[in-house]
Amino acid sequence: MTAKSLLVELFVEELPPKSLKKLGEAFAQTLAASLKAQGLATDHSVTTAYATPRRLALHLSAVLAQAADRAVTHKLMPVTVALDASGASTAALLKKLAALGADASVVPQLELKPDGKAEALFWSTTVRGATLAAGLQVALDEAIAKLPIPKVMSYQLDDGWRSVNFVRPAHGLVALHGSEVVPVTTLGLVSGRQTQGHRFEAQVEPVVLQDADHYAQQLEQQGAVVAAFGHRRAEIVRQLQHAAAPLGLTPIDDEALLDEVTALVEHPNVLLCEFEREFLAVPSECLILTMKANQKYFPLLDKQGALTNRFLVVSNIRPEDTSAIVQGNERVVRPRLADAKFFFDQDRKKTLKSRLPMLDKVVYHGKLGSQGERVQRVREIARAIGEQLGGAALAQQADRAAQLAKADLDTGMVGEFPELQGVMGGYYARHDGEPEAVALAIEDHYKPRFAGDVLPRNEVGIVAALADKLETLLGMFEIGEVPTGDKDPFALRRHALGVLRMCMERDLMLPLDSLVAEAGKAWDAAIAVAERNQREQASARGAVSHSLLPFQASISAERERVRQSRESLLSFMRDRLVILLRDQGFSANEVDAVVSVGPLVVADYPRRLAAVRSFGALPESSSLAAANKRIVNILKKSDAKPAAMVDEQLLPEPAERALTATLRRVKPLADSLFDDGDYAASLRELAVLKIPVDTFFDSVMVNADDAALRANRLALLAALHAAMNRVADLSKLAS
């Protein structure tokens, strides 16, 4: 049977631009997968998706008019159920056959086969392959049902009686197998070969498609529509670069904006526009954001990366005289830029410090108080971390940055453009005469905002960002707002990852438990205030001592809840750390070995992991890892308690004396290398223990009958385990 190309197009009103690419891919992939599953296409059939603002389409090569017949074997039921004592068919068997479209005439064809411990009847038959019309109808229904549409709309069909639900009203359906129309229906539409081109620039209306293979070519030539999303996107990129190059400028790099603009036009035409230079006095972030978010323009940057007063517009029409389009876009953007300038000028009339009282009126969270209260907690955390990392000077600057970091929430610019939180605070801090280090920290304290984002640029910013994220993490965990499954409404996973990245990439020698403890002190102060208030209230009521017992019990329960919430946060951050390290290419065993040794500074993990990987390449590594696993099991299962220290007078066996001597010889140097941070050399030094350890286990009975001897040997194993597992728990490396 000859295979031909298949084209399916659904013509609709303008689709949501931010969803168009995903809709086009889903429509084509679901259709193709269903046709392949039905045998109407093969894995060699090439799928091409098309998506424009007004159409979703699929071109699929090598599609059959009818699928090949196929042999199918149906398991019917156990023999004891299918046949009675005389061997005649039971009612249950006949009912099952009827459900499969057969009757009693096929009973002689049934096969008796083993099925586990019993025997069952099987019926083998040939199923006629699906026709393209029937198979495409199934595939089309499935594709429509599975489209990733966040919200559908209901609209009435032309008959005035029926209504359907879809992302946008659909007005046309094309289904061509080669040059022949495949009869299918969907959304009240019947398939044909006619589609619509560009609203204003199509040469013919409608466009009558001659066959499936000439769809894109015919639509572009007659309909003035570039149907393929990728081709249209590439054409926009080419035109953007072509328009900017003669000026020595570069269009801003924004993949999301490029995708959105591609989804807004069918026949792209890039035009050069400009605005008044006076607006460049406004921070470039404001101008860029309003041009991209509100107008979908591409700002142009000079060779130094600075914003210019030129920008590019992607028009959907190509008139001979483009002056009206250019002037119209310049006229439209001017009020937007004027608004940004107005907000910037007005905001600078008040200092950030003068805005702080307003934060007391802004709710942070119903259970966590106002932004003003939150700022005080962040300041306390920032001072503590700053003191640890850089002494009083850093603590003072970090405190000032934390104090002013949220003040721009009260500004007109941030009210208009929430995305500029922090950024505008940095500009206003400089205007207020704050130190540059503080201004940079205010600007950067939300960073990293997402995976792969840059970190704060200076030490003050790192401290402010750590304090801000830790306060959020601890506060949300203490009120039970923890991530569950794929739900993380407060982005706590992102906050935890940001804390870990800053510690690791900036080599901060701060243990996780210490960070959480410092953050917790800000909350401990609030609990202490609550305790004092309750005591004062009880005293004012003239309560006797025994009446304070319920109060003391409630405070005790609260402290236990707080302790558990902080343990949960530490566990949560350790889990994030494991994922972060795994993403860096380390194996599960390597990561587990390092994380299992106890609380460490996060910055230490990469060095320890590199040492573990280096150790794994040594010929002694597998034997020592297995020995460590054996030691762990012996110490865990032994009922006897190891002696406080190894008594060399209780070492009768040569193997245990040799192991003790070797351990005494190599441990000081291994410890010295460990203390110097040379973890790989420390583990290499310990590798010489392989032979004495192997000999010990081959010739020494640890659980000797003599209690003193047994305790001494357990002490030796405990000392060996402690010496060998400072860098990582080597037993985790055993296969």
DSSP line for 526-544: HHHHHHHHHHHHHHHTT--
What local confidence, expressed as pLDDT, does residue 547 receive?
44
- Residue 20 clears pLDDT 60, i.e. is over it: yes
CA 64/CA 591 separation, integer angstroms: 52
Residue 356 CB coordination number (10 Å): 17
pLDDT for res 4 = 93
How far out from the chain centre does Cα 168 lie? 30
pLDDT of residue 550 exceeding 60, the answer is no
Domain with CATH 1.10.3210 in the chain: 353-505+512-540
* Mean pLDDT on 654-678: 89
pLDDT tens, position by position, 689-732: 888 888 888 888 888 778 888 888 888 888 888 888 888 888 88
Confidence of residue 170 (pLDDT cuts 50, 70, 90): very high
Q: Tell me the pTM.
A: 0.80
351-389, pLDDT tens digit by residue?
999 999 999 998 888 888 899 999 999 999 999 999 999
Q: Which segment of 88-102, 193-207, 213-227, 435-449 scores lowest on mean pLDDT?
A: 88-102
pLDDT at residue 535 greater than cutoff 60: yes
Which part of the chain is CATH 3.30.70? 4-67+131-223
pLDDT, averaged across the chain: 89
Question: How much is the pLDDT for 533?
Answer: 64
Q: What is the pLDDT of residue 117?
A: 76
Q: What is the dihedral angle through the alpha carbons of 723, 729, 734, 735, rounded to the nearest 10 degrees? A: 180
CATH code of the region 590-733? 1.10.730.10
pLDDT surpassing 90 at residue 75: no
Dump pLDDT digits (tens) for 257-305. 999 999 999 999 999 999 999 999 999 999 999 999 889 999 999 999 9
Read off the amino acid at residue 580.
Answer: L
What single string gives the DSSP state of each residue in 217-280? Answer: HHHHHHH-----HHHHHHHHHHHHHHHHGGGT-EE---HHHHHHHHTT-SS-EEEEEE--GGGG
DSSP state of 97: H
In this prediction, residue 255 carries a pLDDT of: 94
Domain 353-505+512-540: give its CATH code.
1.10.3210
Q: pLDDT class for 545, splitting at 50, 70, 90?
A: very low
Mean pLDDT of 580-591: 89
pLDDT at 528: 65
Q: Per CATH, is 4-67+131-223 categorized as 2.40.160?
A: no
How does DSSP assign 608-640, residue by residue?
HHHHHHHHHTSTTHHHHHHHHHHHHHHHHH-SS
Given a cut of 60, whether residue 494 has pLDDT beyond it is: yes
